Amino acid sequence: MSHNLKPYKVRYIENPNQKELQELALEYTSVTIRTAYGSLNKISRNKARIDQYTYIIAPDAEKDCYSSNTIPPEKAQKLIESQRRRG
């Protein structure tokens, strides 16, 4: 079974560096400001996610590179497919 991992007709940005991410956030995200130290602050009314349910899709060999939970791509794909079937 073949899955189209890029189903939308948009320009995909793959592996952006920190500067590119910050520029995107400032340009496209409302209420994002740069601090005196150069970091970005996003002010939001509600917490957008719960850390314990948030995962970065990455191979087990790379999980030490992230401060958040990771999930292997194969396992993530199964969960994604399951959610798509449920609608």
What range defines the domain where residue 54 resides?
A: 49-87
Cβ atoms 59, 73 nearer than 8 A: yes
Q: Which two tokens stand for residue 81?
A: 């497919």
Number of domains observed in the structure of the chain:
2
| Tens digits of residue pLDDT in 56-84 | 999 999 989 888 899 999 999 999 888 88
Which pTM was predicted? 0.43
* Contacts for 15 with CB less than 8 Å, ≥ 6 apart: none
Cβ atoms 40, 32 nearer than 8 A: yes
85 in any annotated domain: yes
Same domain, 28 and 59: no
| Tens digits of residue pLDDT in 7-32 | 889 989 999 999 999 999 999 988 89
φ, ψ at 56 (rounded to 5°): -100, 130
What is the number of helices (H) and of strands (E) in the chain?
2, 4
